[in-house]
Amino acid sequence: MDMDDTPAARDRAPQGAGADDPRQALPDALSNRALSACSNGVMIADAAAPDMPIMYANPAFCAMTGYPLGELLGRNCRFLQGDDQDQPALAALRQAIAARQDAHVVVRNYRKDGTPFWNDLFISPVPDALGVVTHYVGIATDVTALKEQEASLAFHRTHDKLTGLPNRDLAIDRLQQAMQHALRHNDMLGLLCVGVDNYHLVNESLGHAAGDQLLAGVAQRLRAAVRPHDTVALLGGDEFVVILEDVRSAADVAPVCENVFAALAPPFQLDGQAAGQADGQPGAPAVHASASIGVTLCPQDGKDGASLLRYADMALARAREQGGGKYQYFSSEMNHRTLERIGIESALRLAVLRDELQLQYQALADLQTGEVASLEALVRWQHPALGLIPAQRFVPVAEETGLIHAIGAWVLRRVCQDLCQWRDAGLAPVRVAVNVSPKQFLDRGFAAATAATLAEFGLPPSALALEITEGVLLHDPDATGGTLAELKALGVALVLDDFGTGYSSLSCIKRFPFDAVKIDGAFIRDIVTDSGDAALSKTIIAMAHHLGIQVAAEGVETEAQCDFLRRHMCDLIQGYFFAPPLAADAVRELLRERRSLPPQLLRIQQQRRALLLVDDEQNIISALKRLLRRDGYTLYTANSGQEGLEVLAQHPVDVIVSDQRMPGMLGADFLRKAKELYPDTIRIMLSGYTELQSVTDAVNEGAIYKFLTKPWEDELLRGHIADAFRLKEIADDNERLNLELRTANHGLAAANRRMEDVLRQQQQQLSHGEVSLHVARELLQHLPLPVIGMDDGGMIAFVNAAADRLLRRGGALLGNEAGAVLPQLFPADGAPPAAVHEAEFDGVRYAVMAYPMGEHSASRGSLIALSRCEAAP
């Protein structure tokens, strides 16, 4: 480039600047080296030539475009746009060139190999001494990654990341457009709402990763099951929508539904690790997915998108009520039911104001003492026209509409009022359990509101129990754990309700601080006749007891159910067998009369000790009964080994005394069988015959505790039997102690696990902080803008590459006082760096911008950025 050496230029030169002054001009060699070293692409075009050919390009520009310098020189830059000559940015660029002005555009260029890239391009005119533009200089930056990220963000604003389908917002927009088109052309449109029936089961049993895989697989098959121009979108959760355009009649929708069912019929092969398989386990789980479909049509069902979606959702709910795996057209009856529900909502709002709600209480009996252990408060609605409405009919409406907060607050206050009245009546304190809805529990102020209500009525927290269903615990386990911890610290009891009906039973009682669990009544109904329900109930009781948690059984209606639960160590029963739900006045009478279970239904620890006498001689049985009656045992008798087994099947027995010679089954064989079926019993043989071999074998096998001979000495026999009962009681005590030890060990393990979790979280936070620090340093290091970091003592702690190139001047900067080595960073008065001031470095004016740190972090000091000042026109 020609230098401006006119007389006018000399007149404009700074005073005292001679021809050799380095501030006047840089040598050409240095300029070329600087341009070649620049990390941005730089090109210079000849503005005087007709086609503005490229006359210079630095290595970065060549690398960016993929063209060697020889193939760039002499060509106009437009060849880099390929066939994309109609880009709006290019029009702005041409307009700026025509006006001989600066321009900043982002254009799509193509490399030599044909791959596109985005070029962030600055161009500036270069005038000669007379102000005539002779050249254009362009600075280019490859921003392809940034543009791709922007495009990805734009896509994910309207599409689901997991499935790639349009999300709810885009689906509603497309539905509205499709409906407008259908109404304008008198066409029909179909809308399918597709719900995956077993998604939650897969999600909770195999894990969220498996659930995500299932959703992605369903999305892929749905796209293949419909026409290319139909829209498939994900509404949220497990619900998809399909927009069917150009539908002639309702009959055209049915084949599409059948196609969807057929597409989903083959099993989905899920990744083994995502589904929770252990490493090395062969095969991956195959999952079958069924779907329910709700169908609505435009214009016959609705003429706006919101209504059509709502009606499709109603139809989907109806299809699921019918068992799933079906499609259901929307009907006016569904809307009528919805309107009826809305009517219940309106009436319910008034019911709260008019005090139409009532409370009833159902007692829970303690199987150890037989007395009332606690009460459960049950809310009812006394509707002026419909009569008494149970909670299951109106509570779901209250939860959906948000009225549950007002109802829950009313229930808690009414319970506290009744507790105060019973206390003032001189009745013994009793705990009342209140059911907590999911929305109530997830309210962050719930624990504080509960504490305030108890304090208002002067009641201790121990007077209240809160029953929480498993479903509540699945929303946000971390927030749930925090709320439960607050309530536990308050002192109220925590009960896990409807245990066994959800997907998180085992994790719930292990992770959260519950005092008791309630076995759902569905498992109690057939507990005496159904081996599955019996096994499940016994497992729940044993599991909860090992964790130190009480167990209550709901829906106990018969003595047989109560007896089963008693024999298997259940703690509490609730149901009509003991007491139905009662009004507050009736509860007062219940508590006053101290109603109790009959003695034979109390827990084993409180019963009379049971003794079984087995002998084929009736006079022996009678003599033993007369002898042992004074010891207060519960006596059972049998005349053969088979009869003895039948008695054992019907009654709990502690000690067995059996003869050896009996018809049908020898005593040794009977006791051997008794040990196999009832190993906790203590077994004694009392016989006048000594068949040495069979008795010895039975003793060696542990089937016989003692062998006594007939005739016996009364006091000696009584002593042996008493010793046997004491041995049994010791064994029972040992079992209880073992349970307590295992419970303590579990508590210790849980505490260790919590400490490990806290430590792990702290380590993760430290690791994330270190990663963030490294990323920030690397980002600052590669900025083309000079950046200097200064600590709060004024020492230079960081210099990025651009600042190092500008300021080093042969000397190190790090660790030095900024005021000593770089006084230009400070204003002329020596004050700390201001927000913005100007300074000169190597003859060039820079704006010095200081950014104090520590406003949003624990950092101290300041970052100082240098920005080259634009030359005055």
Confidence at residue 32, expressed as pLDDT on a 0 to 100 scale:
79
pLDDT band per the 50, 70, 90 thresholds, residue 399: confident
790: its two tokens: 């200064």
188: its two tokens: 């029909």
Same domain, yes or no, for 165 and 144? no
475: left (phi over 0), alpha (psi -120 to 50) or beta: alpha
Pick the range with the lowest mean pLDDT from 447-456, 571-580, 653-662, 695-704: 695-704
Closest CA to 260 of 195, 173, 319: 195
Same domain, yes or no, for 622 and 661? yes
Confidence at residue 19, expressed as pLDDT on a 0 to 100 scale:
42
Confidence at residue 738, expressed as pLDDT on a 0 to 100 scale:
61
Tell me, yes or no, whether 760 lies in a domain.
Answer: no
Pick the range with the lowest mean pLDDT from 577-591, 616-630, 819-833: 819-833
Query: Cα dihedral sign for 151, 153, 154, 155?
Result: positive
Pick the range with the lowest mean pLDDT from 14-23, 471-480, 653-662, 665-674: 14-23
**HEC sequence for 670-718:** HHHHHHHHCCCCEEEEEECCCCHHHHHHHHHCCCCCEEEECCCCHHHHH
The residue from 149, 182, 210 where one domain ends is 149
Task: Give the Cα separation of 825 and 841 in Å (integer).
Answer: 10
Residue 828 clears pLDDT 70, i.e. is over it? no
The residue-averaged pLDDT of 684-691 equals 76
The residue-averaged pLDDT of 38-57 equals 90
499 bridge partner residues: 519
The residue-averaged pLDDT of 734-757 equals 55
Tell me, yes or no, whether 337 lies in a domain.
Answer: no
Give the residue with greater pLDDT, 584 vs 689.
584
Q: Are 536 and 552 in contact (CB under 8 A)?
A: no
Same domain, yes or no, for 291 and 408? no
Confidence at residue 622, expressed as pLDDT on a 0 to 100 scale:
92
Give the residue with greater pLDDT, 689 vs 272.
689
Over residues 168-217, the pLDDT tens digits come to: 888 888 888 888 888 888 888 889 999 998 888 787 777 888 888 889 99
Same domain, yes or no, for 103 and 61? yes
**HEC sequence for 578-606:** CCCCECHHHHHHHHHHCCECCHHHCCHHH
562: its two tokens: 């109560």
Task: Give the Cα separation of 803 and 706 in Å (integer).
Answer: 96
Confidence at residue 1, expressed as pLDDT on a 0 to 100 scale:
33
Task: Give the Cα separation of 458 and 455 in Å (integer).
Answer: 5
The residue-averaged pLDDT of 508-530 equals 83
pLDDT band per the 50, 70, 90 thresholds, residue 655: very high
Confidence at residue 315, expressed as pLDDT on a 0 to 100 scale:
87
pLDDT band per the 50, 70, 90 thresholds, residue 328: confident
pLDDT band per the 50, 70, 90 thresholds, residue 20: very low
Residue with tokens 């060039």: 844
Confidence at residue 12, expressed as pLDDT on a 0 to 100 scale:
40
Q: Are 450 and 492 in contact (CB under 8 A)?
A: yes
pLDDT band per the 50, 70, 90 thresholds, residue 791: confident
Tell me, yes or no, whether 758 lies in a domain.
Answer: no
Same domain, yes or no, for 314 and 361? no
Residue 30 clears pLDDT 90, i.e. is over it? no
pLDDT band per the 50, 70, 90 thresholds, residue 845: confident
- Is residue 576 classed as helix, strand or coil in its secondary structure? coil
The residue-averaged pLDDT of 656-679 equals 87
Task: Give the Cα separation of 215 and 209 in Å (integer).
Answer: 10
Tell me, yes or no, whether 429 lies in a domain.
Answer: yes
pLDDT band per the 50, 70, 90 thresholds, residue 11: very low
For 482-609, strand residue ranges (E) read: 493-499, 516-519, 550-553, 572-574
464 bridge partner residues: 432
Same domain, yes or no, for 112 and 165? no
Same domain, yes or no, for 249 and 374? no
Give the residue with greater pLDDT, 385 vs 290.
290
Confidence at residue 274, expressed as pLDDT on a 0 to 100 scale:
45
Closest CA to 128 of 48, 228, 61: 48
Tell me, yes or no, whether 559 lies in a domain.
Answer: yes
Residue 279 clears pLDDT 60, i.e. is over it? no
The secondary structure of 39-63 as a DSSP string is SSEEEEEESSSTT--EEEE-HHHHH
Task: Give the Cα separation of 44 and 671 in Å (integer).
Answer: 107
Confidence at residue 474, expressed as pLDDT on a 0 to 100 scale:
64
Residue 282 clears pLDDT 60, i.e. is over it? no
Q: Which domain holds residue 200?
A: 159-274+286-330
CA 310 to chain centre: 27
- Is residue 788 classed as helix, strand or coil in its secondary structure? strand
* Residue partners of 712: CB distance under 8 A and separation at least 6: 686
The residue from 315, 330, 345 where one domain ends is 330
Tell me, yes or no, whether 2 lies in a domain.
Answer: no
Same domain, yes or no, for 497 and 585? yes
Give the residue with greater pLDDT, 525 vs 606.
525
Residue with tokens 């896509």: 155
State the total domains in the chain.
5
Q: DSSP class of residue 795?
A: B
Residue with tokens 């919590």: 754
Task: Give the Cα separation of 500 and 540 in Å (integer).
Answer: 8
Residue 10 clears pLDDT 50, i.e. is over it? no
Same domain, yes or no, for 381 and 499? yes
Peptide bond into 299 cis (omega under 30): yes
Half-sphere exposure of 47 (CA within 13 A, CB side): 22
Other C-beta atoms closer than 10 Å to the C-beta of 17 total 13
Pick the range with the lowest mean pLDDT from 43-57, 325-339, 508-522, 812-826: 325-339
Portion of the chain with pLDDT greater than 90, in percent: 22
Q: 312, exposed or middle or buried, with CB in 10 Å at 0-12, 13-18, 19+?
A: buried
456: its two tokens: 């208002």
Tell me, yes or no, whether 773 lies in a domain.
Answer: no
Task: Give the Cα separation of 781 and 355 in Å (integer).
Answer: 69
Residue 827 clears pLDDT 60, i.e. is over it? yes
Over residues 551-590, the pLDDT tens digits come to: 999 999 998 899 888 878 888 999 999 999 999 999 999 9
Over residues 117-135, the pLDDT tens digits come to: 998 999 999 998 888 999 9
Q: Are 265 and 211 in contact (CB under 8 A)?
A: no
pLDDT, the chain, mean: 81
pLDDT band per the 50, 70, 90 thresholds, residue 462: very high
Same domain, yes or no, for 80 and 126? yes
CATH number, domain with residue 268: 3.30.70.270
Q: Are 243 and 191 in contact (CB under 8 A)?
A: yes
333: its two tokens: 């009856």
Which of the residue ranges 267-271, 416-420, 695-699 has the most confident prediction, judged by mean pLDDT? 416-420
Q: Are 672 and 698 in contact (CB under 8 A)?
A: yes
Closest CA to 648 of 657, 636, 666: 636
Residue 276 clears pLDDT 80, i.e. is over it? no
Over residues 762-778, the pLDDT tens digits come to: 776 677 667 777 777 77
Confidence at residue 303, expressed as pLDDT on a 0 to 100 scale:
82
Confidence at residue 3, expressed as pLDDT on a 0 to 100 scale:
35
Confidence at residue 60, expressed as pLDDT on a 0 to 100 scale:
92
Q: Are 676 and 648 in contact (CB under 8 A)?
A: no
Pick the range with the lowest mean pLDDT from 239-248, 653-662, 734-743, 797-806: 734-743
- Is residue 295 classed as helix, strand or coil in its secondary structure? strand
Pick the range with the lowest mean pLDDT from 432-436, 499-503, 705-709, 792-796: 499-503
Q: Are 638 and 614 in contact (CB under 8 A)?
A: yes
Residue 725 clears pLDDT 70, i.e. is over it? yes
Total residue count of the chain as it appears in this document: 873
Measured between its terminal Cα atoms, the distance across the chain in Å is 20
Confidence at residue 739, expressed as pLDDT on a 0 to 100 scale:
47
> 397-411 burial, b if ≥16 CB within 10 A, otherwise e?
bbbeeebbbebbeeb
Over residues 630-647, the pLDDT tens digits come to: 888 889 999 999 999 999
The residue-averaged pLDDT of 61-67 equals 93
Same domain, yes or no, for 554 and 491? yes
- Is residue 737 classed as helix, strand or coil in its secondary structure? helix
Residue with tokens 């470095």: 841
Over residues 220-237, the pLDDT tens digits come to: 999 999 888 889 999 888
658: its two tokens: 């059996």
* Residue partners of 627: CB distance under 8 A and separation at least 6: 714, 717, 718
Tell me, yes or no, whether 144 lies in a domain.
Answer: yes
Same domain, yes or no, for 96 and 133? yes
Task: Give the Cα separation of 854 and 858 in Å (integer).
Answer: 5
Closest CA to 578 of 427, 371, 421, 721: 371
CATH number, domain with residue 539: 3.20.20.450
Confidence at residue 13, expressed as pLDDT on a 0 to 100 scale:
42
CATH number, domain with residue 851: 3.30.450.20
The residue from 597, 630, 652 where one domain ends is 597
